[in-house]
Amino acid sequence: MRALRIGTRRSALARAQAEAVRAALDAEQVDAVVVPLSTAGDEGAAPDGPAGAKGLWTDAIAQALRDGEIDLAVHSAKDLPAHDDEDLVIGAVPARADPRDVLVVRDDGEWLRPGIRVGTSSMRRRAQVLAAQPEAVVVPLTGNVDTRLRKVGDGLVDAAILAAAGLDRLGITSSHATPLGVDLMLPAPGQGALAVQCRAEARDLVAVLELLDHRASRLALETERALVRALGGDCALPLGALAVARGDTLRLAARVCTPDGDRVLDAAAQTSEPGRAVRMVARQLRDAGADEILERARSTP
């Protein structure tokens, strides 16, 4: 049997994630090689609005999978559109890394003080920063992890918000990095999780990927994605969600904010049935006005 071809983006983080999957397959005595691919996001394509970011990092890789150029695709789960394609499946969700966001500051002791310049291009992060500190100045910040950290070091911003899992997978540690509790910053749906995709028709491969699947992580990811679908959202909107499965119990927390942070809607449910948790949380958010907030955010340039 030839080595499986694992498709991924060319960024250092994406390649580290793909390499982690390759190593996990190797531990199961399955040969695989990593195949870096270019995507619209890597090539600098800009979305027309929040909804335009959907698929920015994943479409080219999904097409390569369909065309048979690769056998597997490794994605940051938060980048995947919430609706699955019929011909592709998430064959494995490995054990989830830390889903939290991290505040990386330039100076020791820096925090969300009035006037602090915080770099992020995420509407979700921007909204929650302004909700926590209305006098913060949120500055658009793009680029890979190294680029954003360098901009903090160069003083272009006082702080930046990044995913804890990304820093960990790149082996980056900093005494100036503080994890943000979910009470202050609820992560993006799927943050910290990897999704290993393959063609639905490749039954033998689906069976192989079951070796890498982590039940609690998959259940949490599926629940968060179901909530995004229920609210008609996507990865670019000011929607945070985190599901945690322990034994037979699942807890789902979610937050919708206006982009300026003036309104924050929180909802949570704990139950043994994930679908019920999704329905309860979606209903709580809708009753509080989430549909209007998300619709306005979708139309924000």
Q: What is the pLDDT of residues 127-164, one digit of tens each?
A: 999 999 999 999 999 999 999 999 999 999 999 999 99
Residue type, 197: Q
Query: Which tokens hold the place of 76?
Result: 């940051």
How far apart are the C-alpha atoms of 22 and 135, rounded to whole Å? 45
Q: Is 228-298 the same fold as 4-93+193-214?
A: no
- Counting beta carbons within 10 angstroms of the beta carbon of residue 194, is it exposed (0 to 12), middle (13 to 18) or buried (19 or more)? buried
Residue type, 137: V
Could you give the C-alpha distances from 257 to 59, 123, 145, 290, in angstroms and in order? 28, 9, 25, 8
How far apart are the C-alpha atoms of 32 and 25, rounded to whole Å? 7
Could you tell me if 30 and 4 are in contact, meaning their C-beta atoms sit under 8 angstroms apart? Answer: yes
Specify the CATH number of the domain 101-179. Answer: 3.40.190.10
Could you tell me if 122 and 161 are in contact, meaning their C-beta atoms sit under 8 angstroms apart? Answer: yes
**Tens-digit pLDDT string for the chain (301 aa):** 689 999 999 899 999 999 999 999 999 999 999 999 976 555 444 444 444 444 556 788 999 999 999 999 999 999 998 888 889 999 999 999 999 999 999 988 889 999 999 999 999 999 999 999 999 999 999 999 999 999 999 999 999 999 999 999 999 988 889 999 999 999 999 999 999 999 999 999 999 999 999 999 999 999 999 999 999 877 678 999 999 999 999 999 999 999 999 999 999 999 999 999 999 999 999 999 999 999 988 887 6
Could you tell me if 259 and 282 are in contact, meaning their C-beta atoms sit under 8 angstroms apart? Answer: no
pLDDT in tens, 13-23: 999 999 999 99
- Which residue ranges make up each domain of the chain? 4-93+193-214, 101-179, 228-298
Rg (CA), the chain: 19
Active site residues: 79
For domain 4-93+193-214, say whether CATH 3.40.190.10 is its number. yes
Q: What is the pTM of this model?
A: 0.91
Q: How many CB atoms lie within 10 A of CB 236?
A: 22
Fold for domain 228-298?
Answer: Double Stranded RNA Binding Domain (3.30.160)
